[in-house]
Amino acid sequence: MKIIVLKFGGTSVGTIKRIKKVANIIARYKKKYYVIVLSSAMSGVTNNLINLSKKISKNFSASEYDVLVSSGEQMSCALISAELINKGFNSRSWISWQVPILTEGKYKFSRINKINKNQIISYLRKGGIPIITGFQGINNKNRITTIGRGGTDASAIMFAKFFKAQKCIIYTDVDGVYSTDPNKLKSAKKIKVISYEEMLEMASLGAKVMQPHSIQDARLNRVDIEVRSSFTDNKGTLITKRKNIINNKIITGISSTTNDAKVTLLGVRDKPGIAASIFKPLSENSINVDMVVQNISANGRETDLTFTVKSEDLSKTKKIVLQNKKINFRDLVFDKSVSKVSIIGVGMVTTPGVTYRMFQALAKQKINIQVISTSEIKISVLIERKNVQRAILSLHKEFKLNK
């Protein structure tokens, strides 16, 4: 069977007019493929449901939260299916438990473990177009679970895997992945093909096209993804494995963040295990530490330790550090006026001088680098937030991403 999986995000199904357009897109694919559709809730609906839960309780039941927020997808799926029926197609909506989509893990953060294919395959063979609720499944207690925000992408990827689909297309409100945020730089160019690894780095560093865990699912299961806009007919961006890419660019994209905070412990008494003593309680409180730099004093007895956390975790970080009896330090300093700028590209693995070129480009703009972190295909620097725009512009020009 030539199966295609189509996923539509909340903005794509945000109004009745848009739902009618989505139905037209589905109808076009039906001419060549057996079509499986997964839909998010209409834009704003999930947030409204979450706000209702907060009005009931600050400690709203996790299992009932999943039942509540999963209801938004039922509405959008029913509307899409009904529009296809109006057009003369055989279509019906499917709630996750009717498939069923089997999940494991905690409520709010479950992962798909198995998809029962029998009923869907039978329905496809009869010419049907199943419209399936994304973002959710059922666990071994027969309770509805959700997969977290962006979970419909993950559901679409897993459907593509289990049904051996020829294509998995993610329809959203942007027409692909860009070399940097086009809202920050007008000369940003759409990337035609990008590797899983590059896309994973970009998503982790602030690109909002897809959630990182969805990219990781696609990478692990070797599912090619095309990201396209439901509002235009423009070609999108293909996310695939490295060996499928012929690319002469060293750097593929530039990402920046706006929610980082810098924490510095001054005059820490240095001894074996001190870093572990600092970071262990942060980990136990689900605070993700990102960039880390340590400066040892000349006498070797003290160190200044700097690291970054998300801005929303700053107050909790401060409290945890001050209450930590296992460490001694002279002062604790915070800075919320910082941002992380990163260059990403598999080309830097085999190209010398990339680090030098990045630092030189920033130096020419008199932009000071506070912290540096690297991986095989990424270099990140922490700079003052007011310099982000200039940094992106200079790096975009340095690595010729506008061509």
* Residue 261 located in a structural domain: no
- The pLDDT value recorded for residue 349 is 85
189: phi then psi, degrees, rounded to nearest 5 = -110, 145
- The pLDDT value recorded for residue 332 is 93
Q: What is the pTM of this model?
A: 0.84
pLDDT reading at 247 higher than 80:
no
Please compute the mean of the pLDDT values over residues 8-27 and round it to a whole number.
Answer: 96
Residue 79 domain boundaries = 3-173
Confidence class for position 71, pLDDT limits 50, 70, 90: very high
- The pLDDT value recorded for residue 10 is 93
- The pLDDT value recorded for residue 122 is 97
pLDDT reading at 246 higher than 80:
no
Return the CATH number at 60: 3.40.1160.10
Handedness of CA 155, 161, 162, 166 (dihedral sign): positive
pLDDT tens profile 270-311 = 788 888 999 999 999 989 998 998 887 766 788 899 999 999
- Inter-residue contact 72 to 49 (CB < 8 Å): yes
Instruction: Please tell me the least confidently modeled range out of 80-84, 145-149, 237-241, 264-268.
Output: 145-149
Q: How many domains does the chain divide into? A: 1
* Residue 295 located in a structural domain: no
* Residue 48 located in a structural domain: yes
pLDDT tens profile 189-220 = 999 999 999 998 888 876 777 888 889 889 99
* Residue 50 located in a structural domain: yes
- Inter-residue contact 145 to 66 (CB < 8 Å): yes
- The pLDDT value recorded for residue 255 is 92
pLDDT tens profile 47-62 = 999 999 999 998 999 9
% of the chain residues with pLDDT over 70: 99
* Residue 292 located in a structural domain: no
* Residue 61 located in a structural domain: yes
* Residue 287 located in a structural domain: no
* Residue 167 located in a structural domain: yes
Q: How far is CA 308 from CA 52, 93, 96, 279, in A?
A: 33, 45, 39, 12
- Inter-residue contact 339 to 388 (CB < 8 Å): yes
Query: Which residues touch 161 (CB under 8 Å, ≥6 apart)?
Result: 221, 223
Task: Classify 9 as helix, strand or coil.
Answer: coil
Please compute the mean of the pLDDT values over residues 115-136 and round it to a whole number.
Answer: 96
- The pLDDT value recorded for residue 206 is 67
